[in-house]
Chain A
Amino acid sequence: MTEKMIDFQTDPSRYRHWRVEYDGPVATLYMDVDEDGGLFEGYQLKLNSYDLGVDIELSDIIQRMRFEHPEVKVVVMRSGKDNVFCAGANIRMLGGAAHSHKVNFCKFTNETRNTYEAAEADSGQKYIAAIKGSCAGGGYELALACNYIMLTDDSTSSVALPEVPLLAVLPGTGGLTRVTDKRQMRRDRADVFCAMEEGIRGKRAKEWKLVDEVVPNSRFDETVAERAREFAAASPRPDDATGIALTPLKREIGADAVTYSTVEVELDRKGRKATITVKGPEGDAPGDMEAFVAQGAEAWMLRAARELDDAILHLRLNEMELGLWVIRTEGDPAQVVAHEALLLANRDHWLANEVLQLWKRMLKRVDVTSRSLVALVEHGSCFAGALAELLFAVDRSYMMEDEFEGDNRPMATVTLSESNFGQYPMGNGLSRIATRFIGDEASVEAARATIGEVLEAEAADELGLVTYILDDIDWEDEIRIFMEERASFSPDALTGMEANLRFAGPETMETRIFGRLTAWQNWIFNRPNAVGPDGALQRYGSGVRGDYNLERV
C-alpha cells in the first residue's frame, strides 16, 4: 500500500477531516473525519478513526496555528460528530498496512502529538481536549497530548485505552507513557485502565487523573468556553501579532531527484542512498525582525527548515529502500551564522521564536529517522550554527582536509554558534553536543570556547566535532568503501544500532515514547499474536477472536 506517493504538504482548502473556527485568541479545532477520505483503498474511516492522511492535515493545522495565527492562545480540540470524540487509528487500515507503513505512521503521529503538546511551553499556545462521546485508543492519545483535558459527565462518555484487550497491540502513540509520566497516574491503576475495554467515565476519570476536569453535560460547552477564555488571558503570547502565510513550498519531484529552493535531494536507487544538499542563504540576513516578517515564508531560515522537514518526511515514507542519507551543505558559513543570529538576538519576538522552534522540531525528526546518516563536510560547505547541528545529528561525519586538486571552492570549515549549546535540544533534553560528549564536560566547554570561530579540519578534529578528516588522497575511496559497507548490512540491525547510539544520556517522556514504547510496539507489530493470519489485528471485525501463542517471550 505504499505504491502511491504520500504528500505531506496540504493547505486548508484541501482539508477533508478537520475544520477550524477562529475566534480571536481561541480557536476551535473540530475533528470530523470523512469516512470515504482514507489515504488508501480498503477501509472506511468510521467513528472519527484516523489514518496517516488525517494526521497529515492535523500536522498542517498545528503548524499554521503557530505561524499564521499568532493571535491564537488556546486551541480547543473537539469532535464534529455526535457520540464519538475519536475512535483512534483505523484498525482495518492497520490490519492491511505493511509493517513499514505502520512504523512510519506511528512515528509521524507521535511527532505530531509532541508538536502540539509542546506548543504551550514553546509558544504559549495551549491545547484543550473537550471530550464528548467515546474517546478510545488513539482518540484518547490525541487528548493525552493536549495540555488540559475536559470530559463531559453524561454517564456515557468515557476515555479508554483498549488496545491490549481488544487488539493485542499497545496504545503506541504515547498512551502508555503519558498516563504514567505526564498524567502521573499510579502504575497499578494504569494497569487496570490499560487492560479494560470499556474505559472510565465521569468522576472516576478525574479521580484517576485521566482528565483534568469533569463537567456536567448541560454546562459543558459553556465551561469549555470559560476555561478557554481563562487560559487565553494567562497566555504570554502577544495580542496584536499578525501571522505570516505559509505559502506552498517550491518543490519539484522528478524520477531521481526532489528539488526545493534551498534543498536538493538526489536519489541513488542502485546505491540505496539519498544525498541531501542544503544550500545556504543567497543574500544578506534581513536587517531586523520587521524585515524578516516582511520576507515571511521566503526568509531563508524558515524556508530551509520547512523544505528540509518535507524532504525528511518524503524520504521516510516514499523512499524506504534508500537506507543511507548523505547530508551535504553548500554556501557561505558566515551568512548562515548571520541569518541565524538575527533570530537568536530576537528570541522574544514571536516569529523568531517560532522559526527557532521549527528548527528544533525538524532536527528532532532527523534524530528519530531510521536511516544511516552521514554528513560530508566538503569544500564550499556551510556547516555553521543551525546547519552545524546536522553534524551532531548524524551517525558519522567526514571532513575534507587541506586543498583538493582542481577544487577551488573555499576550504571546508565548521562554525559553532551559541545555538549549538541548547537552542535545539534533542528529545533527551540535552543539546546534541552535550549528548555527543556525555560525561565529558571539558570537551563541551572546549567546543563552546570556539563559538564564532571558523574551524578548519584539523581544529574540528581536535575538538571531536567530526568523525574523520580525510585529504585529497584518501577522501574518495574511504567514502566509497564506507557507503558500500553500510549498504551491505542488515537494515534492521542498523536501525536498532543507530537508534541506541544516538540517544546517550537521560530518559525523558519523549525518549521513552520513541525508544521504549515504539520499540515494543514495533516488536508486537511483527508478532503473529497481533498481525498473523489468526492474530487479533487481522481478525478484528470478523467476530472471531485472535488465536494467541501463549508462550511469554
Chain B
Amino acid sequence: MLDVINVSYDTQIPNNVGLSSDKKVLKALEKWHPGYIDWWNKLIPQNFQESLVYLRTAVSVDPKGWAKFDYVKMPEYRWGVLLAPQVEDRRIPCGEHAGEPAWQEVPGEYRNMLKRLIVIQGDTEPASVEQQRLLALMAPSLYDMRNLFQVNVEEGRHLWAMVYLLHKYFGRDGREEADDLLRRQSGSEEAPRMLGAFNEETPDWLSFFMFTYFTDRDGKMQLESLAQSGFDPLSRTCRFMLTEEAHHMFVGETGVGRTIQRTCEVMKENGIEDPCDTDRIRALGVIDLPLIQKKLNLHYTLSLDLFGQEVSTNAANAFNAGIKGRYQEIRLTDDHKLTGDTYTVWDIVDGKVVQKEVPALTAINMRLRDDYTRDAAGGVGRWNKIIEKAGIDFELKLPHEAFHRKIGVFADKLIDPEGRFITGAEYDEGMKEWLPSHADGDYIQSLMKPVYEPGKYASWIAPPKVGIDNKPGDFEYVKLHMA
C-alpha cells in the first residue's frame, strides 16, 4: 500500500512541475491525498484492488517516459502531475487577447470562468470511474479487464491533473473545489456529479465500449478546446491528457469493432444472411447488429447533449476571453476573434428542422459538436468495413442530431433518426427500433458472464488483433487476487 502519511512527492508522484519544492501545493495535496486514496479504496471491489494489473504508467512527458508497462496494484498506481513541455513564446490563440503572451498565472478577470471550466472537467474524470466500478465483475476477458482498469486509473490521473491546477492557481477556493470533487459521487442522492450523463450507471460492457467511444470523445473534444487555452498551465495539462484519452477511444472503437466482428463471424458460420433475424442471432449468444445500432443511437445522442445549448453565452465568453479555443484553433486560418462572423446551426422554424446563421461567437459549442460528429463518424466507417468484409448487408449510421435530445432546441421533440418531425404514435412505434428496450438490456445482461482465464474471451466478442504492449494472446493481463 502507498504510505499516505509519508508520500514522497517526487518519487511516488511522477511530476514535471517541481512538486517537492512547491510548498503551497504540497501542503494542499497532502491534505487532499488521503481523501483521494480513501475514495479509490471504496470504489472498486476489494479483490480487484489487490490484483496485479499490467498497467501503463506515465512517469515523464517525453515519448519514452509516458508509457512504462508493469504489474501494479491499482491503489499503488503512481498518479502523476504531468504537463506537456512549455512552448517557447506561446501566445493566446483566440478572442480579444489573441496574440498577447499566454498567461502563466490566472488573470484575475477570468478567474471564476477558468475555475468553473476546470471544476466541470475535473468532475467528469472520477465520475466515469464511479459509473464503471462493477464492470470487472463481468469482464469478457482479462485483456478487457485490464483495459478497463487502465482507463480507470487514467481518469484518476486526470482528476489529479485538475486538482493540481486548482491547488496551484486558485487558493482557498481551489482547495474547496478540489475537496468537493471527491464529495460528489456519480448517481449519489446526496451530491450527484455535475453533468447528468455522468450520473447514469454503466450497466454492461457494450455500454462501456459505447461510452468510451462516444462520451469519452466528448471529453476529448473538451480537452482539445482547453488545450487551446490562453492560460498556459491548463493548455499544457490538457495536451498531455489527450495522449491518454486517445487510448480510451481505442478501447471503445476496438471493443465495439470486436463485438461486431464476432456477430458477423457467428452469422456466417451458421449461414444467417439477414442481420435482422434477431431471434436466431441471439440464440447463438452474440449481439445482433440492429441492437448495436440502437446502442449507438443512445450513446451518441446522450453525448451530443453534453455539448450544451446550440447558442451559448458561456462558450462565447470563454472563447472571447481566450481561455477556451476551438478544435485545433491554431491551425485555423481566420482572425481567431469571430467578431463579425456567423456559423450555421440547426433550429426549428415553423415545425421544420432547418439550418440558420447565428453569430459565430455564440455558436462555439455547435462548432465543437460538428467537429465531434466528424470525428465520431470515422470509427463508424471502420465498423461498417468489418460488416462489409463479412459480406453482410447492413450499415451502421449516426442518427440526425435532432433525434432523441434532452438539451437544446430539439429537446423532447418528436423527431426520428433521419431528422424528420413525426407524430406521437409514429414516435412510440419507432422507438422500439431506434433505442434499446428493457428486453434488449436483459439480453445484453444475460451475456455478461465473466471470463477470467488468460487468452479466453466471452462468446459475444472477438479477441483483439494485437495484444497490449505486443504481448502474446494468452498473456495474463490481470493476476487476479481471489481471496
Task: Spell out A's residues near B (CB within 8 Å).
Answer: 153-156, 165, 196-198, 216-218, 540-545
Contacts and interface: CB of A to CB of B under 8 A. Distances in A.
19 contacts: A154-B190, A154-B191, A155-B180, A155-B183, A155-B191, A156-B191, A165-B112, A196-B112, A198-B112, A218-B189, A542-B316, A543-B316, A543-B359, A543-B362, A543-B364, A544-B320, A544-B361, A545-B96, A545-B320
B54 interface: no
B319 interface: yes
Contact of B362 (A216, A217, A542): A542
A216 B190 CA distance: 7
Contacts of A542: 313, 316, 359, 361-362
With most chain B CB atoms within 10 A of its CB, the pick from A218, A544, A545 is A544
Contacts of B112: 165, 196-198
Interface in B133-192: 180, 183-184, 189-192
Nearest to B113: A197
Contacts of B194: 156
Interface of B: 96, 112-113, 115-116, 180, 183-184, 189-192, 194, 313, 315-317, 319-321, 339, 359, 361-362, 364
Contacts of A197: 112-113
Nearest to B183: A155
B309 to A, nearest CB: 8
Given A154-B191, A197-B113, A542-B313, 17 more contacts: A155-B183, A156-B192, A196-B112, A198-B112, A198-B115, A218-B190, A540-B313, A541-B316, A541-B362, A543-B316, A543-B319, A543-B320, A543-B362, A543-B364, A544-B339, A545-B317, A545-B320
A154 B192 CA distance: 7
Nearest to A201: B180
B177 to A, nearest CB: 9
Contact of B184 (A156, A196, A198, A218): A156
With most chain B CB atoms within 10 A of its CB, the pick from A156, A216, A540 is A156
Contacts of B313: 540-543
Contacts of B189: 217-218
A219 to B, nearest CB: 9
A471 to B, nearest CB: 65
Interface SS of A by simple majority: loop
A155 B316 contact: no
A217 B180 CA distance: 14
Given A542-B361, A545-B96, A217 B320 contact: no
A545 B361 CA distance: 12
A195 to B, nearest CB: 11
A155 B320 contact: no
A294 to B, nearest CB: 48
A150 B173 CA distance: 23
Contact of B116 (A154, A155, A198, A545): A198
Contacts of A543: 313, 315-317, 319-320, 359, 361-362, 364
Nearest to B311: A541
Contacts of B315: 543
Nearest to B321: A545
Nearest to B180: A155
B97 to A, nearest CB: 11
Contacts of A156: 184, 191-192, 194
* 7 smallest beta-carbon distances between A and B, as pairs: A543-B316, A543-B361, A543-B320, A541-B313, A155-B191, A218-B189, A155-B180
Contacts of A216: 190
Nearest to A198: B112
A459 to B, nearest CB: 64
A544 B364 CA distance: 13
A96 to B, nearest CB: 15
A146 B359 CA distance: 40
A542 B115 CA distance: 21
A541 B180 CA distance: 29
B481 to A, nearest CB: 34
Nearest to B361: A543
Contacts of A540: 313
Contacts of B96: 544-545
Contacts of B317: 543, 545
With most chain B CB atoms within 10 A of its CB, the pick from A165, A196, A216, A542 is A542
Contacts of A218: 189-190
A218 B191 CA distance: 8
Contacts of A155: 180, 183-184, 191
Nearest to B318: A543
A76 B317 CA distance: 35
A346 B316 CA distance: 61
Contacts of B192: 154, 156
A544 B94 CA distance: 12
Contacts of B115: 198
A197 B96 CA distance: 21
B326 to A, nearest CB: 13
A540 B316 CA distance: 10
A34 to B, nearest CB: 14
A196 B108 CA distance: 12
A156 B183 CA distance: 11
A217 B191 CA distance: 7
Contacts of A153: 191
A136 to B, nearest CB: 13
B195 to A, nearest CB: 10
A542 B313 CA distance: 6
With most chain A CB atoms within 10 A of its CB, the pick from B112, B315, B319 is B112
A192 to B, nearest CB: 11
B384 to A, nearest CB: 38
With most chain B CB atoms within 10 A of its CB, the pick from A165, A542, A543, A544 is A543
Contacts of B316: 541-544
A544 B339 CA distance: 8
Nearest to A543: B316
B276 to A, nearest CB: 38
A93 to B, nearest CB: 15
A44 to B, nearest CB: 10
Contacts of B180: 155
Contacts of B191: 153-156, 217
A544 B95 CA distance: 9
A218 B313 CA distance: 32
Contacts of A165: 112
A152 to B, nearest CB: 9
B343 to A, nearest CB: 12
A156 B319 CA distance: 24
Contacts of B361: 542-544
B144 to A, nearest CB: 33
Contacts of A545: 96, 317, 320-321
A198 B112 CA distance: 7
A196 B315 CA distance: 19
A220 to B, nearest CB: 9
Contacts of A217: 189-191
Contacts of A544: 96, 316, 320, 339, 361
A530 to B, nearest CB: 17
A512 B416 CA distance: 56
Nearest to B184: A155
A57 B127 CA distance: 41
A202 to B, nearest CB: 8
B25 to A, nearest CB: 22
A64 to B, nearest CB: 31
Contacts of B321: 545
